């Protein structure tokens, strides 16, 4: 019974965090619009999250564990927010299934529950946000 309640609490925490991230991303998109490089959106989103008191890490290494050995294969998560939600940023024409696969792999490797893909290269940011759950 305790495990179920803890799981529900974890899901609520991650949902609350994702709402804060999306709110910050909407603010960035409102000021910048589409058409810039991913690195510009990352910088501005980090600035906005700092202003909002949201704790995050940038370009977090993600080792690959193969048969009990951690290997540094150069994988990096764009953002890890509140040590719970993985955020992958894009500035591309359209999100493709490979982007979902990338984030789902990161969620599995990190043993995280929730991730967001945010594509800033859209007219309305709501059309550029994907929320993926591990499991």
Annotate 7-47 with DSSP letters as a single string: HHHHHHHHHHHHHHHHHHHHHHHHHH-S-S-HHHHHHHHHH
Domain count, the chain: 1
The pLDDT tens digits for 88-102 are 999 999 999 999 999
**Mean pLDDT value across residues 20-46:** 97
Domain that holds residue 72: 2-133
Structure tokens at 135: 């499991």
Classify burial at 115, counting beta carbons within 10 Å of its beta carbon; exposed 0-12, middle 13-18, buried 19 or more.
buried
- Number of Cβ within 10 Å of residue 20's Cβ equals 16
Bigger pLDDT: 68 vs 7:
68
């Amino acid at each position: 019974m305790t495990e179920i309640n803890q799981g529900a609490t974890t899901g609520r925490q991650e949902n609350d965090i994702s709402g804060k991230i999306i709110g910050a991303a909407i603010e960035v998109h409102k000021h910048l619009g589409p058409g810039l490089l991913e690195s510009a959106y990352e910088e501005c989103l980090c600035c906005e999250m700092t202003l909002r008191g949201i704790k995050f890490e940038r370009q977090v290494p993600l080792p690959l564990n193969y048969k009990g050995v951690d290997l540094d294969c150069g994988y990096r998560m764009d953002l890890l927010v509140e040590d719970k939600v993985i955020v992958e940023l894009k500035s591309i024409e359209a999100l493709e299934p490979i982007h979902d696969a990338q984030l789902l792999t990161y969620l599995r490797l990190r043993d995280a529950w929730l991730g967001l893909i945010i594509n800033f290269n859209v007219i309305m940011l709501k059309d550029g946000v994907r929320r993926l759950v591990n499991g």
